């Protein structure tokens, strides 16, 4: 897999004053954001250099080319997750905005007093706060499915919390802390039997595993471009057409209208009803280029590589005294995410000490504070792996984690 590192300029970037040298960087924070290959940067440059016009509005050829590039990107996203139609793809800024869109449109229109919304304790704040708001505003109840602390998985007994009172089940596909891949298909079947819709947070799944929204049984699916080697500031929501057509718009303004009077307005067709104002066309083009690049590497190949590195990391850490793996100890079930603590060393100190060795990991609550409280961990350290990472980098992390307590003044 090492050959793919040459596709990423950051890993060999040296500025003209030699004050920055990334050639030795061990980057293990892909769950926060992935690096971008040349092909993505070039696609965006090409768009702004040769197709830069406001899409959807102009009747001249340059604007038409910009429109085509934008709509081609929509088609690429649709095919990537096997959406039935590209018209069901709505571009957003990121997964967080996508989940807010769903909550503030479908949620606010369909959840009422006495209803219930079911999520899990492992959710990112982006899939908690919107549903808290909906339930608090509408007088509904927000229920949590809890995880087994050893396996990091939701026991089937927790599925019973989905009842005929449930209007929405919203669940992460892959946990950004535990790396758990949730059985969305099984949970979606239970949700549908109870008359609820299934919302899926795909921020961490789309970069690592094949996603088929139809096979999953999802009704809505949200994702980000920057997690899968695309630019920041672009993401997408997929929703079933009959649901999207019945939903009110999320934002109001230019382009999302059909006709406006002094007192009323009618909306444009889906998906434009949900894309107010000037769209992020260059970023959409970059996201599409990233998807094509990921597909050229192969998601099966990526999954296999991520799992192998996670197994290597976990097995290495198991041999180090005072190191604790949070969640499942089986690396093949971690989707490239390994979260850990070290006795006596605060996670922020772990990240700082490793940074001095040119190793970049994440430390903190990972925007999942309810999960941390449930597990009894206010903060953890997280190494998140991707296909551009190597066995040598994993070994470097293991070697330096073994030194953390000594660096912190412990004698054992």
Q: How far apart are CA 290 and CA 41, in angstroms?
A: 9
| 276 burial level (CB within 10 Å; 0-12, 13-18, 19+) | middle
Give the bridge partners for 337, in sequence order. Answer: 384
Catalytic residues: 367
Q: How far apart are CA 4 and CA 98, in angstroms?
A: 30
3-class secondary structure, 51: coil
Comparing C-alpha atoms, which of 32, 34, 43, 31 is closest to residue 10? 34
Among left, alpha and beta (phi > 0; psi -120 to 50; other), residue 20 is beta
| 39 burial level (CB within 10 Å; 0-12, 13-18, 19+) | middle
Q: How far apart are CA 81 and CA 246, in angstroms?
A: 23
């Amino acid at each position: 897999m090492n050959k793919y590192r040459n596709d990423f300029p950051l890993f060999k970037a040296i500025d003209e004053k030699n004050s920055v040298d990334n050639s030795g960087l061990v980057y293990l924070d892909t769950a926060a954001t992935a690096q971008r290959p040349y092909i993505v940067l070039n696609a965006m440059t090409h768009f702004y250099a040769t197709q830069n016009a406001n899409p959807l509005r102009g009747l001249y050829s340059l604007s038409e080319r910009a429109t085509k590039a934008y709509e081609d990107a929509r088609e690429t996203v649709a095919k990537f997750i096997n959406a039935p139609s590209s018209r069901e793809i709505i571009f957003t800024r990121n997964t967080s905005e996508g989940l807010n869109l769903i909550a503030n449109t479908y949620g606010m229109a369909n959840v009422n007093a006495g209803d219930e919304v079911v999520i899990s304790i492992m959710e990112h704040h982006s899939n908690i706060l919107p549903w808290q708001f909906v339930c608090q505003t509408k007088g509904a109840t927000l229920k949590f499915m809890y995880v087994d602390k050893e396996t990091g998985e939701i026991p089937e007994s927790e599925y019973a919390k989905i009842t005929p009172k449930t209007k929405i089940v919203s669940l992460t596909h892959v946990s950004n802390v535990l790396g758990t891949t949730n059985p969305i298909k099984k949970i979606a079947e239970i949700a549908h039997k109870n008359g609820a819709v299934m919302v899926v947070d795909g921020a961490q799944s789309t970069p690592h595993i094949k996603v088929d929204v139809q096979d999953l049984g999802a009704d809505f699916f949200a994702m980000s471009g920057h997690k899968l080697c695309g630019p920041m500031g672009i993401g997408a929501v997929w929703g079933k057409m009959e649901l999207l057509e019945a939903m009110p718009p999320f934002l109001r303004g230019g382009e999302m209208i059909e006709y406006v009077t002094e007192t009323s307005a009618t909306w444009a067709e889906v998906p434009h009803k949900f894309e107010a104002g000037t769209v992020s066309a260059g970023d959409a083009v970059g996201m599409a280029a990233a998807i094509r690049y990921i597909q050229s590497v192969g998601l099966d190949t990526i999954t296999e590589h991520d799992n192998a590195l996670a197994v290597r990391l976990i097995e290495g850490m198991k041999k180090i005294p005072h190191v604790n793996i949070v969640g499942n100890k089986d690396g093949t079930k971690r989707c490239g995410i390994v979260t850990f603590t070290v006795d006596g060393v605060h996670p922020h100190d772990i990240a700082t000490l490793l940074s001095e060795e040119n190793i970049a990991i994440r430390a903190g609550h990972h925007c999942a504070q309810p999960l941390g409280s449930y597990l009894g961990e206010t903060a953890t350290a997280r190494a998140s792996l991707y296909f551009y990472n190597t066995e040598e980098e994993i070994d470097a992390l293991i070697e330096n984690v073994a030194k953390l307590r000594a660096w912190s003044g412990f004698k054992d």
